[in-house]
Amino acid sequence: MQMMKLYGAVLSAVLVMVSGTVRGAAPSPSSSPSGTLTVGSDFGVAPWIVRGRDGPEGFGVDLIRAVARDMGYGAVDIEDINFSGLFPALFSARIDMTVNPLNITRERSERLLFSEPIFATGNGFIVLKGERMAGLEDLRGKILAVNRGTLSDIWAAQNQNRYGFTVQRYETFPDSVLAVLTGRAFTALNEIPTTIYAASRNPLIEVAYRDFDGRNFAYAFRRGDVALRDRAERAIECLKRKGVLARLYTRWYGSAPPKDNPLTTIYPGFGPPGFSGYDARPHDLNCR
């Protein structure tokens, strides 16, 4: 879903360029009296967020609107920003926070302030309907298609010798799915939510195997915006308690979320446990 190598380089470069701006404490849009929370996301990640006939729609849109309401905002402005532009927009205070499906990583947590996890991800393997894949050992001798430069591509490069498969790289995820449909590849690999959605839109394919490997998505903030992160996290936790995230997942992804999932798990403290920026202090919820 994200091009990991490119993103890491872009993030590092952006942080160097804007370090003076961050230290200078540019005013946050959230301090505006307009009562509008301004957020950024790439609109091309279905079904998280896509451009609909009447504006952005998807799981991520419904979620941030619910979070903003719970935080007390009168409105939320979702700006369509390519991933490479998200960090400049965040650090220059053009937006308050990112709402892209952004993986929590140790490197990013040193530079960004993350909310607690809100969505579990990992490796999803698409095959032709009726094909069998019970585990990673079933990849031996097969051809695996990936979207070039993504986390899936990195995983494939690291594991092709271990599991004995051949990697085919494509420029887009739909191209990798087409490789499966035309018999050029046994399986197409991508983030689990992306593969689930793709399979729901095409009756010829299915997600044969899901490897939830501990990767999680979360919202990201500037390192100094602790109060905003904590407010957003309280809202997220209340929505989890009410079952809102699970219902949105079922609506947009077509199935109930797995058990013990970040969609329903309320984590102690603020932020993702075990990562930089985590605040372990306990807090009570006062959900309306």
- Going by their DSSP bridges, the two strands 187-191 and 143-147 should be labelled as parallel
When mean pLDDT is compared over 188-192, 193-197, 224-228, the highest value belongs to 224-228
Measured CA to CA, the distance from residue 256 to residue 250 in angstroms comes to 5
Q: What is the mean pLDDT of the chain?
A: 88
**pLDDT tens digits along 114-158:** 999 999 989 999 999 999 999 999 999 999 999 887 778 989 999
Average pLDDT over residues 222-235: 97
Instruction: Give 21's pLDDT tier (boundaries 50, 70, 90).
Output: very low
pTM of this structure? 0.75
Number of neighbouring beta carbons within 10 Å of residue 247: 15
Instruction: Give 213's pLDDT tier (boundaries 50, 70, 90).
Output: confident
